[in-house]
Amino acid sequence: AQTVTQSQPEMSVQEAETVTLSCTYDTSESDYYLFWYKQPPSRQMILVIRQEAYKQQNATENRFSVNFQKAAKSFSLKISDSQLGDAAMYFCAFMDSNYQLIWGAGTKLIIKP
């Protein structure tokens, strides 16, 4: 069975600094998708970034980028120039061949002003 592990329950970063959230996953599949979702206190789940496993190039969305290491089954999220509005729970999710999302436990990101 596929699993997703986020080993950092909580991370804090100074405003304007860079932070990296880690995620590892376990699967025997070769073709899949990976996502990072953000959940602010409002509880709305918001897509941050998406990565196709067949693409070697790391996905980037403005201040958000990933470091996708397929062989290591690692999918970390880097947030540059952290802003107060980035404070939220961040979830790493794996999409399996049945197109179900399998979720990590989440990392709470705190931004220090």
Partner 1 sequence: EPEVTQTPSHQVTQMGQEVILRCVPISNHLYFYWYRQILGQKVEFLVSFYNNEISEKSEIFDDQFSVERPDGSNFTLKIRSTKLEDSAMYFCASTQSDGYEQYFGPGTRLTVT
* CA distance readout (Å), 61 to 4, 30, 47, 96: 22, 24, 11, 23
Q: Write out the residues near partner 1 by the rule CB under 8 A.
A: 33, 35, 37, 42-47, 50, 52, 91, 93, 95, 98-106
* Strand (E) or helix (H) holding 26: strand 24-26
**What tokens appear for 37 in the block?**
């979702």
Judged by DSSP in three states, 85 sits in: helix
50 or 70: CB nearest partner 1: 50
**What tokens appear for 44 in the block?**
């709305």
**What tokens appear for 91 in the block?**
């979830």
4 or 19: CB nearest partner 1: 4
17 or 61: CB nearest partner 1: 61
Query: Closest distance between partner 1 and the C-beta of residue 37, in Å?
Result: 8
- Amino acid (1-letter code) at residue 101: L
16 or 46: CB nearest partner 1: 46
Query: Closest distance between partner 1 and the C-beta of residue 78, in Å?
Result: 19
Query: Closest distance between partner 1 and the C-beta of residue 17, in Å?
Result: 28
